[in-house]
Amino acid sequence: MSTHDAALQGPPHHEEHQTSTGLDNTKMAMWAFLGSECLFFGSFISTYLLYRSRAAGGPTPAEIYDIPFTSVSSFVLLMSSLTMVLALAAIQRGDERGLRTWLLATAFLGMTFIGGQIYEFTTFYEEGLALSKSPFGSSFFVLTGFHGAHVSVGILMLLALVGMSLAGRLPQAESRKVELIGLYWHFVDIVWIVIFTIVYLVPTEG
């Protein structure tokens, strides 16, 4: 029997660190969740692609999009990925103050993006593109709205991390928490990379 050989393999660990693949449970769960989210946003983006030319007499994408404005807010969200990854680098080298600074910067950039989205939605509504106006309006608002909801949840989690850090509950050893929320945040960012290109920049034919 090889049971004794197996028994000798590896030094004794604490149980929580020993997984079959050597990978962290929570991180694997987060990646699985992000894989799932690809289908979620894929469904909404496809709906938009199907409906973007169906304006039902209301504003069309070409008439209503403000590309310079959206470019700026896209840039803001893109840079929030940089501040997020700097927050992770800070906690991994034990710099709790740097961690809080970069987390707050990330949350601030996220809030700027959300503010821009609120402004954009309001403007579009005033220009005649209501949620119920046309399939274009419905699919645009619901797609970007769900993305905005994801950003908002991310902001909440970032602020919670800042609170934990202030309370002394986020030491270097728990950098995994920052990494997980970072993964979520970057994912929301790359979804916007896709949305910015497909929804805003790719012109609607006919």
Q: Which of residues 29-48 bind other proteins (CB under 8 A)?
A: 29, 31-47
- Provide the mask over 63-102, with x wherever binding to other proteins is found by CB under 8 A and - wherever it is not: ----xx--x--xx--xx-xx-xxx--x--x----------
Nearer to other proteins, 36 or 126 (CB): 36
- Could you say which of 73, 106, 117, 134 contacts other proteins (CB under 8 A)? 134
**Token duo for residue 27:** 């991180």
Instruction: Please count the other Cβ atoms lying within 10 Å of the Cβ belonging to residue 2.
Output: 6
CA 106 to CA 159: how far, in whole Å? Answer: 10
CA 136 to CA 55: how far, in whole Å? Answer: 5
121 forms part of the interface with other proteins (CB under 8 A): no
**Token duo for residue 137:** 């309006």
CA 122 to CA 134: how far, in whole Å? Answer: 17
Give Rg (Cα) of the chain.
Answer: 22
Closest by Cα among 111, 117, 115 to 141:
117
138 forms part of the interface with other proteins (CB under 8 A): yes
62 forms part of the interface with other proteins (CB under 8 A): no
109 forms part of the interface with other proteins (CB under 8 A): no
State the nearest-atom distance from the C-beta of 181 to other proteins, in Å: 11
Tell me if 40 sits within 8 A of 193, measured CB to CB: no
- Could you say which of 69, 122, 127, 156 contacts other proteins (CB under 8 A)? 156
- Provide the mask over 169-188, with x wherever binding to other proteins is found by CB under 8 A and - wherever it is not: x----x-x-----xx--xx-
State the nearest-atom distance from the C-beta of 115 to other proteins, in Å: 19
CA 58 to CA 126: how far, in whole Å? Answer: 12
Q: How many residues bind other proteins (CB under 8 A)?
A: 94
